[in-house]
Amino acid sequence: MTRHSSPGGDTSCPLDAADQRLSNYGFDLPEAAIAQRPVEPRHDARLLMVQPQEGAQHRRVWDLAEALLPGDLLVVNDTRVLQARLAARRASGGAVELLVLEPQGDGRWSCLAKPAKKLRPGDWLTVESPGQPPLALEVLAIDPSTGGRILQFPGECADAAALEPLLLRYGAIPLPPYIHSHSESDNQRYQTRYAAQPGAVAAPTAGLHLSDELLTALEARGVELARVTLHVGLGTFRPVETEDLRQLQLHSEWVEVTPALVAAVAACRSRGGRVVAVGTTSVRSLEAVAALHGGQLAPHRGPVNLVIQPGYRFAVVQGLLTNFHLPKSSLLLLVSALIGRRRLLDLYGEAISEGYRFFSYGDAMWIDPAAVLESARPPN
pLDDT value for 6: 46
pLDDT value for 85: 96
Residue pLDDT tens, the chain, 380 long? 333 334 443 334 457 899 999 999 999 999 999 999 999 999 999 999 998 988 899 999 999 999 999 999 999 999 999 999 999 999 999 999 999 999 999 999 999 999 999 999 999 999 999 999 999 999 999 999 889 999 999 999 999 999 999 999 999 999 999 999 889 899 999 999 999 999 999 999 999 999 999 999 999 999 999 999 999 987 766 779 999 999 998 888 899 999 999 999 999 999 999 999 999 999 999 999 999 999 999 999 999 999 999 999 999 999 999 999 999 999 999 999 999 999 999 999 999 999 999 999 999 999 999 999 999 999 97
Is the omega angle on the peptide bond into residue 310 within 30 degrees of 0, that is, cis? no
Choose among 350, 343, 351: nearest CA to 373.
343
pLDDT value for 10: 37
* HEC secondary structure over the chain: CEEEECCCCCCEEEECHHHHEHHHHCCCCCHHHECCCCCCCHHHCEEEEECCCCCEEEEEHHHHHHHCCCCCEEEEECEEECCCEEEEEECCCCEEEEEEEEEEECCEEEEEEECCCCCCCCCEEEECCCCCCCEEEEEEEEECCCCEEEEECCCCCCCHHHHHHHHHHHCECCCCCCCCCCCCCHHHHCCCCCCCEEEECCCCHHHHHCCHHHHHHHHHHCCEEEEEEECCCHHHHCCCCCCEHHHCCCCCEEEEECHHHHHHHHHHHHCCCCEEEECHHHHHHHHHHHHHCCCCCCCEEEEECCCCCCCCCCCCCCEEEEECCCCCCHHHHHHHHHHCHHHHHHHHHHHHHCCCCECCCCCEEEECHHHCCHHHCCCC
**Hey, CA dihedral for 371, 372, 374, 377, is it positive or negative?**
negative
CA gap 63, 66 in Å, rounded = 5
- Is residue 235 within 8 Å of residue 253, measured between CB atoms? yes
pLDDT value for 146: 86
Q: Between 330-339 and 341-353, two packed helices, what is the crossing angle to 10 degrees? A: 110
CA gap 167, 16 in Å, rounded = 47
Residue-wise burial string across 180-204, b where 16 or more C-beta atoms lie within 10 A, e elsewhere = eeeeeebeebbbbbbbebbbbbbbb
C-beta atoms surrounding 172 within 10 Å: 16
The domains of the chain, with CATH numbers, are 2-81+190-376 (3.40.1780.10), 85-171 (2.40.10.240)
pLDDT value for 14: 57
